[in-house]
Structure 1
Amino acid sequence: MEFTTLTVTIARHLATVTLNRPDVRNAFNETVIAELTEAFRGLGGNDEVRAIVLAGNGPAFCAGADLNWMKKMAGYSNDENRADALALAQMLHAIWSCPRPVIARIQGDTYAGGVGLVAACDIAVAADHAHFCLSEARLGLLPATISPYVIRAMGEQASRRYFITAERFDAAEALRLGFVHAVVPADALDAKVGEISAALVGNSPNAVRESKRLVQEVAGRVIDNDLLADTADRIAAIRASEEGREGVRAFLEKRSPAWKPA
C-alpha cells in the first residue's frame, strides 16, 4: 500500500497505520479519509494481519478537520456537504467494522473527528499528557458522523455533557469514563501498545475476529430466546471450527496451538 498522508507497515502479523501530517497536527481532509478507508479495508482482508495499530506522527494524534478542507466545505452545496460527510462516516465504519482488532495509540491531543477515530477503534491507549475535546459546538457544528462510535465508547451521559460544552478533558478523565482503556507515561506508550498487540497476535485469529463481531452484534440486544439461540449457535460453530478444535487439543496436550507465532 502506498499513500501520501499515511504510512503503513506490517511486521510479525501486526500492521501499523500512522497518520503522517504532523505539520497540520494530523488533521484530516478528503485525501486522508479516502486513504484511511482504503487502508483499513485492505488490511481487514489481509490474512497475514492479525491486529492493527492506528497511530499519529508528531505531537498530536489528530486535530480533527483540516482548516483548508473546512474552508472548501463552506462553499459546498447541501448535496456536496452530504457526500463529504458520508465519506467520513464510511471511513469510520471501515475502522469499526474491520475484522482485525484495532488499537489506537494516542500520543497527543485528539480533537473533534480525531475523537471519532479513537472511538471507532477496539482498544485505546493514551499518553498521560494527551487531551481530548469534542469541539464542534464552538464552531456552530455538531459531531454527527462520529456520534454512533463516541456514544458507544463514552456512554450517553458523558457524551451529552461533552457534545454540548465542548470542554477539554484529560487522559485521566478519558480513562474514568471508559473512553480509553489505559493511560501511561509517554515513554511507556509503545511498551503498553506492544503488550496488548502481542496478546492479540498470540490468540486464535478466528476467535479474535468472532469475539469482536460478538460484542458488536450482542451489545444492547434484549436477552430473549432469539439471543440465547444465537449465542448457542456461535459457540457451537466455533467449537467445530479448525482453530477451535486445535486450541482445545493444544490445551489438553499442554503445547502451543498451531497459530501461535514462533
Structure 2
Amino acid sequence: MTFGEGMPMLDETIDDWGTARLTLNRPERHNAFNAELIAALEEAFTRLGQSGDVRAIVLAGNGKSFSAGADLDWMRAAAGWTEAENQADAMSLSNMLAAINDCPKPVIVVAHGHVTGGGVGLVACADMAVAIEGAQFRLSEVRLGLTPATISPFVLARIGAAARRWFLTAEAFTAEDAAAMGLVNETAIDEDAAEAMVAHWLAHIGQAAPGAVADAKRLALDFAAAEITEELREESARRIAARRVSEEGREGISAFLSKGKPSWVTE
C-alpha cells in the first residue's frame, strides 16, 4: 500500500464475523503518537467496544514498526507548554489507553519492529498479544529526562515488579524477553505465524458468548490482586447469579444439555 497525503492515521476494517482490525498508519513516523492518532484510537475503541457487530478487535501497525512511542514534533511542542497543559495532554493519552484496557471486547495486539514507550503501553492494554521475532521493546523515557508515568498503571498491571528494571535502565528487550515477563502471550517467527496465532485466539473467542466474554474480562480487571474479603466473595456470587439468569446463560446451558449449538457459535 502506498502512503501519502490524506491517508488516515488509523485504518479500520470489520469482517463478516465481527473481527475489527485497526492498523496504526503513520509508517513514515514508525506509528508514533500525536494528538490526532491518540484521539482516533480512543474514539475507535470506544465505538467498537459498544458495537453489536464486533466480536473482537485486532490492533497492528503498518510499516517497519508497531509504534515508536511519542512523535518528536509532539514532544518538541510539549516542551513549550505549561505544566497544566502537559497534564491535560497526558490525560488524553491515559484516556486512550483506558479505552483500550477497559474495552468490553477482546483486544489482540500484534507487535513488530520498534515498540517504544507508549507503544509498550498499547501492548500492555491488550488481552492477548503476540510479538514477531526481531521486535525490539524499550521503555526509553528516562533517557530523555522523563518517566513512563502515564503508561505505568497499565504496564505495571501487566508485568508487575519486572518493570523496575526496564523503567530504570531503558535498555532494549526482545520478543522473547517480553514473553518471559508476561508483556506478550506468544512470539511468532514471522507475520504469517503471528496471523495464525491471532486466528487461533479468534476461533476460541468465537465459541464463547459475547456478553459472557465482556463480563469475564471485567472480572479479570476488577478482581486482579484484590484482597479476598467477604464483600468480594459476595460480589463474585452476585455476578455469576446474574449470568445464570441471563439470556446467554440460559441458552448456553440449554444447548450444552441438549448437545446443541448456541446462537453465538458460527462456523
TM-score (norm 1): 0.97
CA contact (8 A) 1:14 1:201 kept: no
Aligned to 2:11: 7
Specify the code of the residue in structure 2 equivalent to 1:181: N
Counterpart pick for 1:202 among 207, 218, 222: 207
Aligned to 1:69: 74
Specify the code of the residue in structure 2 equivalent to 1:207: A
- Partner of 1:26, secondary structure, is coil
- Answering whether residue 136 of structure 2 is matched by residue 131 of structure 1, we say yes
2:29 and 2:46 mapped to 1: Cα distance? 25
1:209 and 1:83 mapped to 2: Cα distance? 30
- Answering whether residue 116 of structure 2 is matched by residue 147 of structure 1, we say no
What is the aligned length? 260
Counterpart pick for 1:181 among 185, 190, 200: 185
Cα RMSD between the aligned structures?
1.3
2:122 and 2:51 mapped to 1: Cα distance? 21
Specify the code of the residue in structure 2 equivalent to 1:141: L
Aligned to 1:94: 99
2:58 and 2:75 mapped to 1: Cα distance? 27
Distance verdict in 2 for CA 1:35–1:3, change over 3 Å: farther
Q: Which stretches of structure 1, 4 residues or more, deviate above 3 A after TM superposition? A: none
Shift, 1:3, TM fit: 8.0
- Answering whether residue 253 of structure 2 is matched by residue 248 of structure 1, we say yes
Shift, 1:107, TM fit: 2.6
Residue deviations 1:19-75 (CA, integer Å, cap 9, x gap): 001111000100000100110111011011011001101110000001111111111
Structure 2: stretches of 5+ with no match in the other structure: 1-5
Specify the code of the residue in structure 2 equivalent to 1:107: H
- Answering whether residue 221 of structure 2 is matched by residue 216 of structure 1, we say yes
- Partner of 1:62, secondary structure, is coil
Aligned to 2:58: 53
2:49 and 2:10 mapped to 1: Cα distance? 16
Counterpart pick for 1:229 among 227, 234, 252: 234
2:230 and 2:84 mapped to 1: Cα distance? 44
Shift, 1:202, TM fit: 2.8
- Partner of 2:206, secondary structure, is helix
- Partner of 2:23, secondary structure, is strand
CA contact (8 A) 2:206 2:264 kept: no
TM-score (norm 2): 0.95
* Greater shift in the superposed pair: 74-83 or 193-202: 193-202
Specify the code of the residue in structure 1 equivalent to 2:180: R
1:232 and 1:3 mapped to 2: Cα distance? 49
* Greater shift in the superposed pair: 196-205 or 10-19: 196-205
2:125 and 2:241 mapped to 1: Cα distance? 29
